[in-house]
A and B are shown apart, each in its own frame.
Chain A
């Protein structure tokens, strides 16, 4: 029978068995999470070893490792990284700058909010990857259309989060500041800006993942270099193991970038107990 114990945060937690109770919740989380990944890999290897599907449909994990080795033996992969990295960096940086600035303004001035919110919500609601072909028509298949697509995809989560961060500032703090005769500019600098940092970072974290989608889709629409283009080429030539390798690169890039933003969030979160 399961018993209820209190963990160190004082929250009741069901105690499954003795070995589980010996681990902290953090270790438990890591062990369980890793266990599932390992299980999937093993199942995958077993299925492929049984030869149910030919490698051209479902390559084994070791095929994918081989594909990695091959990819990194050529210098083309670095050109792919450079191209995708450039698109991601420019698009994301632009989205962060515009999204934060516009979000602050729209959140701070209610009238701007009334004016822009419906339009922003409309754009936020449509699947923005669908704008890709349009952007190619307008901007060609060079860097600019790719940056534009990444920007359009990533800017909205930043903007919407930032403005809602400003709107959800503690009204009591604003009252305290007014009570001391603070000007709007001072209130903005000392309360609105630091108060909305967690929201801004949350928006950036969402935007990172979305930017990667943008990079991938933009490269599908036509590109010489880039991880997305590499995956697309490999797919056309039925190099399925290379396709898997490319997907893994995207996954790792997403995890890494999200981890960086999470780390920033935790630093700024220290005070929000």
Chain B
């Protein structure tokens, strides 16, 4: 049971500052979650901390490949604009 970081990540470092298990590393310019260490924050917090601070939609996924912050969930909608 672990989360993972996708190529939607914008390299902002925020997740690393809030993970209670030091499960996130910055390796060769990419942020990665160590599946051995990630507990999805169970027992520590009500919601996964990395996904609660991440500013990039789609950057953090669960093991079924579902985005914890799906498109449109973090930015206000713009009338007439298309989903990217």
**Physical interaction between A and B:** no
